[in-house]
Amino acid sequence: MTDDREQRAARFADLHRSGTFLLPNAWDTGSARILEAAGFPAIATTSAGVAFSFGRPDHGDDPGARVDRGTMLQRIREIVDGVGVPVNADLEDGYGREPDAVAATIGLAHAAGAVGGNIEDYSGDPASPLLDHELAVERIRAARGAAAGFVLNGRTDALLFGLPLEESIRRANAYLAAGADCAFVPGAADAATIGTLVRELDGPLNVVMGLTGGALSLDDLRELGVRRVTVGGSIARAMYRQLIDSARELAEHGTFGYAASQVSQDELNTIFSRRA
């Protein structure tokens, strides 16, 4: 890793030590540079947004339609090379069930310039959606050993699949004990649930907002004690909403009202002309 990458890694690790920070999610170089221009100290990738940008589903029933590891890592590298801020990579399930596969993915993401990454415990099997607890812990332990100085975010999807909050706490704490630097519990969106997680977890908490409109603000989350806030694929989906609405207006009405809210050519040129 170059000195610049080492500095990025140090800055990113520092963000996790105190306070609350917002880590918005990009899906390509252009979206990453817009987020950087807005002043965010770091950005994350969104695997959903990357998949959509390739015209692929996020997960889905056809494993052949999934964005493969090599393609995802190439996109991560493009984003890293296009900005000057630290980049956290959404690495989904680590692109393999076994700990060795997860460790290899972490090593490749680190080599691509990412300074942190998520590993989730979703099994891909709707009948049994979470990986066995011990296997999930071993995967985090293997990931921890794969790259020094890499901020590891251990994600449990227990709440997303209707399991009790206690299971999220049990898994998140096990991932922290196995070497994760931060615990990620998607599905925690109300003050009571988030407050309980902050009190019960043995490390920093990452929550994702923007899955719905959401009543909590960043100030609310700061007061609750959340360390890191991401937005997943919500910015990408909001942009695709605009694209779908524009396409329907053109196809169904032959009008051009969508153009009233477009970004000016000059503004985009100014953002994209800046060198990271």
pLDDT digits (tens, 9 = 90+) for 213-238: 678 999 999 999 999 999 999 999 99
Specify the 3-state DSSP secondary structure of 66.
coil
Of 164, 151, 161, 85, which Cα lies nearest the Cα of 123?
Answer: 161
This prediction has a pTM of 0.95
For the cut 90, the answer to whether the pLDDT of residue 211 exceeds it is no
DSSP annotation of 259 reads G
For residue range 105-150, list pLDDT tens digits in order.
999 999 999 999 999 999 989 899 999 999 999 999 999 999 999 9
Strand partners, 43: 87
Residue whose token pair is 């997303």: 160
Q: Which helix or strand (DSSP H or E) is residue 243 part of? A: helix 234-253
Q: How far apart are CA 46 and CA 44, in angstroms?
A: 7
Q: What is the pLDDT of residues 143-186, one digit of tens each?
A: 999 999 999 999 999 999 999 999 999 999 999 999 999 999 99
- Domain 3-233 sits in CATH at 3.20.20.60
Amino acid at 269: N
Tokens 């691509």, residue? Answer: 112
**Average pLDDT over the chain, rounded to an integer:** 95
pLDDT value, residue 276:
46
Of the candidates 154, 156, 198, which has an alpha carbon nearest to the alpha carbon of residue 176?
Answer: 154
At 263, list the tokens: 């970004």
Spatial contact of 130 and 160, defined as CB atoms under 8 Å apart: no
Over residues 253-275, the mean pLDDT reads 94
- Which phi and psi (to 5°) does residue 74 adopt? -65, -40
Instruction: Give the C-alpha distances (Å, rounded to integers) separating 71 from 54, 66, 241, 245.
Output: 10, 10, 25, 29
